[in-house]
Structure 1
Amino acid sequence: MEPMIISHLQLLLAEAQSSPRLLRHNVTSLISKCDSLRRMLSTIATGPQSQQNCALSEVPLEIAEYIFAWLHPAEALKFRRLAKAFNNLLVSQEFATLLLSRFLPKDNLSSKRHHDECAKIFFAWPSTYQKRFATSHLSASCSRKSLLWSHKATPFETNHIPQGSLFAMFPNLVELDLSYCALSGTIPDTLFTNMRQLQSLKLHENRLTGEISAAIAACTQLRVLNLHSNHFSGKIPESLYTLSELQYCNLGHNRLQGVLSPKISCLQKLNALYLNDNHLEGEIPKSMAELEGLEYLVLSCNRFVGRVPTELLNLRRAVYFNFEGNGFDAESNV
C-alpha cells in the first residue's frame, strides 16, 4: 500500500513542475477513489517513521486540501504527523470549519449518526475543532445534549480531564459520560460551574483522585452521579446534600472518609445510594429513614458502627440493602 501511494504522489509532484493545472486534475481524479485512498493514506499515517519517509511531506498545501477535505474529521487529524505544514493546515480554524460543515450539515437530520461519532471523540480534537463543533452542534438550539464516547477510547492525550474554560462550551449539556477512559488527576471545578444543566454525570471506572469538589452544588439539576471505582479521598462534601433532584448516587469503591451527615435526608428523591468499599465511619444517621423512596442502599465494607436504624430497615420501597463488612454491634438488627 505505502509504496503504491508514494509512487502516485511522486509522479504527481514531478508533473506539477511542468503543469500545476495537470496536477490538480490528477489529484482530483485520484481522490475520486476515496476508499482505496483512505486505506493507503492511513497506512502511511500510522506506519513507523512516516514523517521521514513519506513523500506526502512535499505535497503543496493547495493539493493537501484536495486530499484531506473529504475525510471524516476524526480521520483527518491522524495525518497531522505526516508533516509540520500538514499539521498547521489540519488544525486551522478555516479547515476545521470546512470539514465539520461538510460532514455535519447543520440542518440535515440524516447526519445524526455522524454527529454521535464526532461527539464520542470530541475531547481528542484540537481546540479549533472543539469550538467549531460546540458552537454549531452543541448549542442551545441543538436537540442533542449528551456527550459520550467509546469506553475503550481514551479521550484525552494526557489522561487528565482538561482544566480551564473548555466546559464553558457546554452550558446546556445534560449528560456527560467519561467512564472507562483511564482518566487520572482531579475533577476541575469548571466541569460543575460551567455545566449547570447537567442531569447525568458518569466518571466511573477511572483513576481519578482528590476530593469530590464542593462546586458540585452548582449542578442543581443533577439526577445521576456515578463516580464509583476511582481513588477519591476526603469527606463527602456537604454541598452534595443540596442536590435535591438526585436519584442515583454511586460513590462506591473509593477512599472516602468521615461520617455520613444527617443532611442526607435532604435528598428526598434518592432512589439508589452506593457507598460500599470506602473508609466511612460513625453511625448511620437516623434521618436516612426519611428517604421514603429509597430502594437500593449498599453501605458494605466500611467502618460504620452502632446499629442500623429500625425505621430504615422498614422502608416500604426497599429492594436491596447491604450492610455487611462493618463494625455494627453484635446484637445489631442486620
Structure 2
Amino acid sequence: MNAIAGVLFHFIGGFASGSFYVPYKKVKGWSWESMWILGGLFSWIIVPPIAAWLTIPNFAEIISQSSSSILGYTFLFGVLWGIGGLTYGLGVRYLGVSLGSSIILGLSMVFGALMPAIYYFFNKAEGKHGIDYFFTENAGICVMIGLLVCVVGICLCGKAGMLKEKGLGTLSEEAQSEYKFGLGIVVAIVSGVLSACFNFGIEAGKPMAEVANQIWKAANPGQGEFLYQNNVTYIVILWGGFCTNFLWCAYLLLKNKTYKDYTNTTSPIGKNLLLCAVAGTTWYLQFFFYGMGESRLGNGASSWILHMAFIILISNAWGVALKEWKGVSKPTYTSIIAGILTIILSICIVGFAKTLE
C-alpha cells in the first residue's frame, strides 16, 4: 500500500508541476519577468511557510536550531536549483510546454537520481543506496531499466521537437513567434542539470525533516512516517531559489522598464495577478506532494524518477491539449505520442521496482 500511495502522491505532484505554466500562458500584456517573479513570490515565499505552519507548527524552531552547515548547503543547492528554475521558464518559452519540459526534466531526472547514489557509494550512510544498488539488486536494476526507458521517451520527444522545427514554415504565425530550438536547447540543458540540485537540497536538509519526523512519531506512535516532514526543508531550499530568481527578474524589470506592467491599465491587472498567484501556488504543490510521496517510497532514486516522469508526462499531455503540435506532420505527431506512451511505461516499471524491495 505504501508503494501505491507513494506513486499516487507523486502523480499529484507531477500533475501540479506539469500544469503550473498553463496559467502563465493566459497572462496578457505583461513581460515574462513581470509574471515570473510575481508567481515566484507565491511559490517560494508566501505559500511554503503557510504549508509548513499548517503541518509542522514548530518549523521555525527546527530551522533556527539546525547547524549552519545544514542550512548553508541546503540554501546553496536552492540557489543553484533557482538558476535551473529560472532557465526552465525560458526553456518552456522557447521550446513550448511539452518539448521544453521533456528535455529539462529528463536531464534533471537523470542527474537527480544518479548523482546522490554516486555520492553515497563513496560516503556510506544508513538507508541510502550507492550507485552499485542499480546493478546488483533486483529492485535497483528494475529502477535503472525504468530510467533508461524514460530516457528513450525523452529522446522521442526531442525528435518530435526537431521535426517540428523542420516543418515550422507550415505552422501558424502564433506557433512560430517564440519557438527557438537552438537557443531553447542550450537553455534547457543548463536548466536540466541545475534543476537536479533540488534533490541535492532535500538530501542536505534531511536532518531538519528527520527532526520533524521524530517529533511527529513521538506524538503519533505506530502510525508510520510523517507525510509532511519535508515541508520544513523546502522553506530553506526555496529561499535560495527565490534569491536567484528575484535578482535576475529585478534586473530585467529595471533594464526593460517592465516594472510598469504592474500599473499598466491597458492590461487586465487583476486577472494577471490572479493567474500568477495560481501558477505560483500550483508550482509549490509539486513539492508538497513530492514530500508525501517520498515519505512512502523513501528519498531515493525511485521517488525522484517517478516525480520527474510524471511531470514530463503531464507537460507533454498539456502540450498536446494546448495544440502546440497542431499543424505538424504525421511523423512528428507520432513521435510525441510515442514519447508520452514510453514515459508512461517507464513510470510503471519504476513503480513495480518498489515491490521488489
Fold equivalence (TM over 0.5)? no
Between structures 1 and 2, the one with greater helix share: 2
TM class, shorter-length: under 0.3
Larger RCO: Structure 1 or Structure 2 (Cα < 8 Å, ≥ 6 residues apart)?
2
Question: Normalising to structure 1: TM-score of the pair?
Answer: 0.18
More strand by share: 1
